[in-house]
């Protein structure tokens, strides 16, 4: 269900809310891509899934895959595997940096929704 807010005389889609409480064990075969710095992995959760990225040895980021441009359309962002640093919204062509979720091209004016990550050296928790 999409919510619409009104401000300045213009309707704007609001990102749907989904409770996120995901636990990942990067040392397991299922998440082997997260063992390397700059590794990324699609993970179930959120509205349309998450993307988890390992920035360095002790720092992970996790984003909602739903594009911030017209989120009611449920367009999903995917990693551009030609460079592994850009997420692309296939519907609008908007592009986002995987390192911080910033919108760098296209009509999306907001960064991707970022979830809280907690890493204890063995277990990664992702919450909102």
The residues spanned by each domain of the chain are 19-127
Q: What is the pLDDT of residues 56-106, one digit of tens each?
A: 999 999 999 999 999 989 899 999 999 999 999 999 999 999 999 999 999
For the entire predicted model, the pTM comes to 0.87
Give the 3-state secondary structure of residue 82: coil
Residue length, the chain? 128
Provide the pLDDT confidence category of residue 12 given band limits of 50, 70 and 90: low
Q: According to the CATH classification, is domain 19-127 in 3.40.50.2300? A: no
Query: Residue 91: which of 113, 112, 111, 76 has the closest Cα?
Result: 76
């Amino acid at each position: 269900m999409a919510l619409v807010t009104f401000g300045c005389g213009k309707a704007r889609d609001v990102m749907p809310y989904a409770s996120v409480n995901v636990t990942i064990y990067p040392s397991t075969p299922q998440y082997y891509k997260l063992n390397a710095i700059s590794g990324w992995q699609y993970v179930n959760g959120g509205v349309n899934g998450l993307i988890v990225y390992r920035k360095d040895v002790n720092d992970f980021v996790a984003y909602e895959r739903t594009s911030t441009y017209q989120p009611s359309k449920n367009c999903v962002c995917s990693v551009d595997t030609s460079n592994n640093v850009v997420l692309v919204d296939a519907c609008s062509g908007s592009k986002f940096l995987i390192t911080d979720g910033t919108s760098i091209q296209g009509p999306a004016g907001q960064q991707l929704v970022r979830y809280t990550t907690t890493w204890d050296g063995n277990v990664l928790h992702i919450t909102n």
